[in-house]
Structure 1
Amino acid sequence: MEHKMENYIILPKTADQTLLAKYYSLADVFTICSKRENFPTTCVEAQCCGTPVVGFDTGGTKETSIESQDDFVRYGDIDALAEKTMCKLCGNSKDIAEKAQKEYSKETMSKRYMETYDRGGRKKRVLLIDVNCKGSSTGKIVYDLYTNLRADGRSAAICYGRGKNIEEENIYKFGLDWETNIHAGLSRITGYNGYFSYFSTRRLIDYIEQFKPDLIHIHELHAYFVNIKPLIEYIKSRNIPVVWTFHCEYMYTGKCGHAYECRNYQNKCGNCPAVKDYPKSLWLDKTRQMLEMKKNLLGDWNFTIITPSQWLADRVKTSFLKDKKINVIHNGIDTRVFHPVDANELRKELKISEDCKVVLAVAPNIMSESKGGKWILQLAEKMKIENVFFVLVGKL
């Protein structure tokens, strides 16, 4: 326990999913106040544990709701959010866990992806590419797909760029940590991202040559671990079918994962208002050149785009990729972990009284501007007179 004050507590972030399931099960309502989310996994996990969700209507957040998209309010409207929160605390969210687990299980997600893969014939050998494996939200998705593909009698492989070495069949870390560090440094100096990591990219291409996939499923390529242009040119030269899940906006903007209100990507980029945000440049703005590279690389290529939300699909349709095949497949989670569990001991440990309602918020860096911890504290202040206790998980 790090910080307790009146009607809220801020706790450290945790990678322990069993503990997270207890936090979700402890709560009567889950709230999310992010500035922008494409399809937040935390909302899905909370509902699979039987906890209804309220929050700000940003990005694809409201699409996660099993109950009603009307439970999400205009960004920054704390009065409206307090009203929605009280309605949920006084309401009855019956069967929410059962409905959420059916819609958001990793098995459901995998089945929908395999249906997409198999258009034009069953794909027996599938290669998944991502920045991570097992770690992070996309890394978990990639590993779940790998597991379910193998359970379906197919040969699956994962190539990933960053994180711990994983010793499992057909899982290969091609990224070289020293080269990733150089890539990050060069990005800051030159303003270019995704233009370096020569040796790591060569290792990835060599693995593709060896594995000979019937289909490649790409996820994230933006974390300083791969040279995008030669990788895509190689895949195009081999005519390998590609499904590409856009978990963010990076591949149709100059460099931004979240473009927010900026619409420069619809034209030329340049004069980037977020040039010093991740992926960071210290001085030079090369967003126009990077967007041009992506247009030349992807514009005439026949591949399928998947997004986790309709909101993100609609954003893709405002970009130079608007004429591509674009489908929506919701992210899935491990419902063997995220389901209603007994949280009585956790309630006692946190010294929350039996008659007190609990509002929960979870994010990796919850007090950052992007994750909106300040709004949750304002909500707690507004609801001081109610018998409600706020638990925030995610302090660094």
Structure 2
Amino acid sequence: MNNNTLILPKITNQNLLAQYYSMADVFAICSKRENFPTTCIEAQCCGTPVVGFDTGGTKETSVYSENDFVPHGDVGSLKNRIAGILARDTSDVASKAYEAYSKDNMAKRYLEEYDIDGKKQRILLLDVNCKFSSTGKIVYDLFNYLKKEGREVTICYGRGELIKEDGIFKFGLDLETKIHAGLARLTGYNGCFSPFSTKRLIRYIENFKPDIIHIHELHAYFVNIKPLIKYIKKRNIKVVSTFHCEYMYTGKCGYAYTCDKYRRVCGKCPAVHEYPKSLFFDKTKQMFLLKKKLFKDLDMRIVTPSQWLADRIKTSFLKDKPIRVIHNGIDTDIFHPVNASKLREELKIPSDYKIVLAVAPDIMNDRKGGQWILKLAEMMKGKKYFFILIGADEKKAIC
């Protein structure tokens, strides 16, 4: 603990995380760019209102007002927003969030999207993760809902722990993923160096024979995009693709920020050394043109969690594809208001202090904005506020 600030590593125990959300008086998000951050939804379902920087689709998560979000880097205005929201009656935040963001509401809307041109009995969900991370949790929630609806459903995922559960298949090979990441950094190409994992995935799809494939994330060094999409087109399999970031229509970037080269053609990338980074070569033009060719005639319907991202897609080469906004949903059996008084006592936070919470993976990196929270905490020293940041690298955590 450091004065008015506590920095913690990532918390994988979801029930414990719900206690932190419930204990907080306000949740602050200072990311440089987000599509529709799950943390904001989780916080509100636990009864905690949100404020933050107006970046991407972040402000769309609020069940109250988009005016609670301020320009990126404006810590002074953020301080005022925190004071303002603490002065309001926000006792109904959890009930509003349940209505908007339950996992069942999300799943119902996806089922409508699958069946838009006829009932789909066999559904394959594809993502980098399963059960864990924001997209992994979404995929697993969809999986369980679809089973209850009597659909034949399976998850194929590329990275993370091996999950031994019927209908879940980890096709990614961990060693190949590491090789893929290394070669991507050396060559500038990404989504090109997992041949064996990709063959395992295609073989599984061939045997399962899905009526529709629901694609989530395809970056993160676990699958070869070209042979996968070519196979899907060859088999005339319908696709719903949820864009959780901008990777699918840029040369490589998950977040293009102020760069608008994707509207024409990527190349001479200003973020070539950022994730998925290249150490030497800029191949963003080649990757952009490859994606444009692959996706142009793919039978694909696009879903975005935010209107902000939907509007961005409409300025890309995918502008003619059907696009629908479906907000992310979460497990409200876990994320709901809970009694966190014992946790507060363990942390020795005075009862008359207001708690400001921030949660993000690798929260201290530039995109996630942990440094802005620390700056805010420094500004508010001497006042009855306590700041908790969750998601720091183990070495940077101050427990």
2:67 corresponding residue in structure 1:
70
Whether 1:217 aligns to 2:214 is yes
1:196 corresponding residue in structure 2:
193
Whether 1:95 aligns to 2:95 is no
1:129 corresponding residue in structure 2:
126
Instruction: Report the residue type matching 1:281 in the other structure.
Output: S
Percent sequence identity is: 66
Post-superposition CA distance 1:203-232 (Å, at most 9, x none): 111111100111110011111111101110
Whether 1:108 aligns to 2:105 is yes
Distance in 1 between residues matched to 2:114 and 2:206, nearest whole Å: 20
2:161 corresponding residue in structure 1:
164
Q: Select the residue among 116, 119, 123 that pairs with 2:116.
A: 119
TM-superposed deviation, 1:250: 0.4
1:331-342 paired onto structure 2 within 5 Å: 331-342=328-339
TM-superposed deviation, 1:302: 2.8
2:367 corresponding residue in structure 1:
370
Whether 1:13 aligns to 2:4 is no
Distance in 1 between residues matched to 2:23 and 2:167, nearest whole Å: 39
Moved more, 269-278 or 385-394: 385-394
1:262 corresponding residue in structure 2:
259
Distance in 1 between residues matched to 2:266 and 2:209, nearest whole Å: 37
Contact kept? 2:360, 2:390, Cα under 8 Å: yes
2:396 corresponding residue in structure 1:
none
Q: Select the residue among 296, 302, 305 that pairs with 1:305.
A: 302
TM-superposed deviation, 1:170: 1.6
Cα RMSD (Å) of the superposition? 1.0
TM-superposed deviation, 1:385: 4.0
Post-superposition CA distance 1:12-40 (Å, at most 9, x none): 22111111111111111111111111111
Whether 1:30 aligns to 2:37 is no
Counterpart of 2:6 in 1: which secondary structure? Answer: strand
1:49 corresponding residue in structure 2:
46
Counterpart of 2:27 in 1: which secondary structure? Answer: strand
1:205-284 paired onto structure 2 within 5 Å: 205-284=202-281
Contact kept? 2:24, 2:356, Cα under 8 Å: yes
Instruction: Report the residue type matching 2:172 in the other structure.
Output: G
Counterpart of 1:208 in 2: which secondary structure? Answer: helix
Whether 1:138 aligns to 2:112 is no
Q: Which runs of 4+ in 1 moved over 3 A?
A: none
TM-superposed deviation, 1:379: 1.3
Post-superposition CA distance 1:290-322 (Å, at most 9, x none): 000011111122310001100011111111001
Counterpart of 2:153 in 1: which secondary structure? Answer: strand
Counterpart of 1:66 in 2: which secondary structure? Answer: coil
TM-superposed deviation, 1:373: 1.2
Contact kept? 2:26, 2:49, Cα under 8 Å: yes
Distance in 1 between residues matched to 2:370 and 2:292, nearest whole Å: 37
| Structure 2 unaligned regions, length at least 5 | 394-399
Distance in 1 between residues matched to 2:195 and 2:184, nearest whole Å: 14
Counterpart of 2:323 in 1: which secondary structure? Answer: strand
1:348 corresponding residue in structure 2:
345
Question: What TM-score results when the alignment is normalised by the length of structure 1?
Answer: 0.97
2:397 corresponding residue in structure 1:
none
Contact kept? 2:237, 2:299, Cα under 8 Å: no
Distance in 1 between residues matched to 2:23 and 2:6, nearest whole Å: 14
Distance in 1 between residues matched to 2:377 and 2:182, nearest whole Å: 41
Counterpart of 2:358 in 1: which secondary structure? Answer: strand
Distance in 2 between residues matched to 1:386 and 1:322, nearest whole Å: 49
Distance in 2 between residues matched to 1:190 and 1:388, nearest whole Å: 48
Corresponding pairs, count: 393
Question: What TM-score results when the alignment is normalised by the length of structure 2?
Answer: 0.97
